[in-house]
């Protein structure tokens, strides 16, 4: 348990970074501090491991006031990941990961052996173990940073905008890796970001910080989206928060339709009418992109297939959520979403109208459950802002 009781941080120049913060972060949960730049998110997080001392109030970790706890002992139980990874440039990947266990008294041989296991846990090829940070991509460096934070198996993990410096594709991969790790390890994670989509994807609960270091709302992400506590929260999560809220609705029952496809080798022989699209797939059934009559004509004229197909849009993984299903349908140039199985093979088509019909059915079911709960006194209880 991490607790903030009436915590305020005011600097000598009069700037208040955090104001009267009251939070309870349960053990084993993933809590995201989210908000615009300069709103006190990082300051609040750094108070947890005593890197910053509060002006007033108390921060407790496992029931102990951090101000009265030996800082070295406190930080032994807290992993810390920052944006630039903070790796030691003169040490190999393996030795970077083994750093903290060695400092805690583990023999270098044992620490290095264990470091191999941690590298695999965060999805890094052990073949990278003897490389130096400068020889890694940004995404690989961030994975090493996470591995180093996990190496001593701390119960708490603090992450300060760790993925903001990498490109969107790598960032999505790292987010998925964090979700997988948390499902396995059940750490108490406090994660700082200014990206509301990242916060919604990762967090069990969001603490939305506003200007002056005031927490505007502290609640699960679906509650923040459905019922913003203040005008500030409503503005921060954006006008498209209804679209984002689809992430919390299952797409299991969205209808799949037959999807006409063509194998790569057969494109040149394809006959299409104007405005008609066909999905190009590999021999294994993986989607490559959409092609229309102009694309087929270009292939016949000698153009490369890759130059003649339109971007395929996003894909809907079967068993995904309604946001993924709707995005697949509306992002495809054909207006037809592509559903794939766990191996990436095409299994059918998704239509936007079916996604909206499924949303309407789920809302009717929600209303029926709410009305039933209201009558028998067992209706759901909503978290409130502190």
Task: Name the DSSP letter for residue 342.
Answer: T
Q: How far apart are CA 359 and CA 353, in angstroms?
A: 10
Per-domain residue ranges for the chain?
Answer: 2-248, 261-356
Q: Token match 């970077």: residue?
A: 96
Specify whether the CB–CB gap between 340 and 347 falls below 8 A.
yes
> Which pair of structure tokens corresponds to residue 180?
């997988």
pLDDT of residue 172: 84
Specify whether the CB–CB gap between 135 and 89 falls below 8 A.
no
pLDDT at 173 over 60: yes
What does the CA dihedral 334, 337, 341, 342 come to, rounded to 10 degrees? 100
Q: How far apart are CA 306 and CA 122, in angstroms?
A: 33
pLDDT digits (tens, 9 = 90+) for 348-357: 999 999 999 9
pLDDT of residue 85: 67
**CA 55 to each of CA 21, 61, 65, 351: distance values in angstroms, whole numbers, following the listed order:** 12, 18, 14, 56
* Average pLDDT of the residues in 352-370: 87
328 C-beta neighbours (distance < 10 Å), count: 27
Q: How far apart are CA 187 and CA 378, in angstroms?
A: 31
Say if pTM beats, i.e. exceeds, 0.85.
no
- The SS3 of residue 251 is coil
pLDDT of residue 275: 85
pLDDT of residue 205: 93
Q: How far apart are CA 41 and CA 206, in angstroms?
A: 11
* All residues at 6 or more sequence positions from 274 whose CB lies less than 8 Å from its CB, including other chains: 293
pLDDT digits (tens, 9 = 90+) for 69-90: 988 888 888 988 887 767 888 9
pLDDT at 295 over 60: yes
pLDDT digits (tens, 9 = 90+) for 21-62: 999 999 999 999 999 888 999 999 999 999 999 999 999 999
Classify domain 2-248 at the CATH topology level: Rossmann fold (3.40.50)
Burial label for 385, CB within 10 Å (0-12, 13-18, 19+), is middle
Q: Name the β-bridge partners of 5.
A: 58
Specify whether the CB–CB gap between 94 and 102 falls below 8 A.
no
Specify whether the CB–CB gap between 80 and 149 falls below 8 A.
yes
* Average pLDDT of the residues in 258-271: 89
pLDDT digits (tens, 9 = 90+) for 205-218: 999 999 889 999 99
- The SS3 of residue 72 is helix
Q: How far apart are CA 322 and CA 328, in angstroms?
A: 10
pLDDT of residue 365: 85
Q: How far apart are CA 75 and CA 192, in angstroms?
A: 18
| Confidence label for 316 from pLDDT (cuts 50, 70 and 90) | very high
Average pLDDT of the residues of the chain: 87
**CA 328 to each of CA 154, 209, 291, 355, 368: distance values in angstroms, whole numbers, following the listed order:** 39, 32, 17, 10, 29
pLDDT digits (tens, 9 = 90+) for 85-130: 678 889 899 988 888 888 888 888 888 888 888 888 888 888 888 8
Among candidates 359, 360, 355, which has minimal Cα distance to 336?
Answer: 355
3-state secondary structure 76-132: HCEEEEECCCCCCCCCCHHHHHHHHHHHCCCCHHHHHHHHHHHHHHCCCCHHHCCCC
pLDDT of residue 374: 56
> Which pair of structure tokens corresponds to residue 156?
């708490």
Specify whether the CB–CB gap between 194 and 34 falls below 8 A.
yes
Burial label for 235, CB within 10 Å (0-12, 13-18, 19+), is exposed
Among candidates 38, 35, 47, which has minimal Cα distance to 9?
Answer: 47
For 261-356, CATH gives 3.10.580.10
Residue 70 C-alpha from the chain's centroid: 33
DSSP string, 258-293: ---EEEGGGGGG----TT--EEEE-TTS-EEEEE-H
């Amino acid at each position: 348990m991490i607790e903030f009781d009436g915590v305020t941080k005011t600097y000598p120049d009069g700037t208040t970074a955090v104001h009267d913060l009251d939070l309870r972060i349960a053990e084993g949960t993933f809590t995201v501090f989210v908000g615009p730049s300069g709103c006190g998110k990082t300051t609040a997080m750094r108070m947890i491991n005593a890197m910053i001392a509060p002006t007033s109030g108390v921060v407790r970790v496992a029931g102990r006031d951090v101000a009265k706890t030996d800082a070295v002992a406190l930080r032994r139980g807290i992993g810390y990941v920052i944006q630039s990874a903070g790796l030691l440039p003169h040490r190999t990947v393996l030795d970077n990961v083994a750093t903290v266990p060695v400092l805690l008294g583990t023999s270098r041989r044992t620490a290095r052996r264990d470091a191999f296991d941690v590298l695999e846990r965060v999805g890094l090829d052990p073949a990278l173990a003897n490389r130096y940070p400068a020889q890694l991509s940004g995404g690989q460096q961030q994975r090493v940073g996470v591995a180093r934070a996990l190496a001593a198996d701390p119960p708490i993990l603090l992450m300060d905008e760790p993925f903001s410096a990498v490109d969107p594709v790598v960032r999505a991969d790292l987010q998925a890796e964090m979700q997988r790790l948390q499902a396995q390890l059940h750490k108490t994670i406090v994660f700082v970001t200014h990206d509301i989509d990242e916060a919604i994807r990762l967090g069990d609960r969001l603490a939305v910080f506003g200007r002056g270091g005031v927490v505007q709302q502290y609640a699960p992400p679906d509650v923040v989206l459905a019922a913003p506590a203040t005008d500030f929260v409503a503005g921060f999560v954006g006008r498209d928060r209804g679209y984002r809220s689809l992430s919390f609705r299952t797409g299991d029952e969205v209808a799949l339709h037959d999807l006409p496809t063509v194998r790569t080798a057969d494109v040149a022989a394809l006959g299409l009418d104007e405005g008609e699209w066909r999905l190009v797939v590999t021999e294994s059934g993986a989607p490559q992109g959409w092609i229309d009559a102009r694309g087929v004509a270009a292939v016949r004229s000698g153009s490369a297939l890759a130059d003649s197909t339109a971007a395929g849009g996003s894909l809907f993984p079967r068993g995904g959520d309604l946001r993924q299903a709707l995005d697949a349908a509306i992002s495809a140039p054909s207006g037809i979403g592509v559903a794939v199985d766990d191996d990436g093979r095409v299994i059918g088509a998704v239509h936007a109208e079916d996604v909206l019909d499924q949303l309407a059915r789920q809302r009717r079911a929600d209303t029926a459950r709410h009305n039933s709960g209201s009558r028998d006194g067992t209706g759901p209880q909503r978290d409130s802002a502190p």
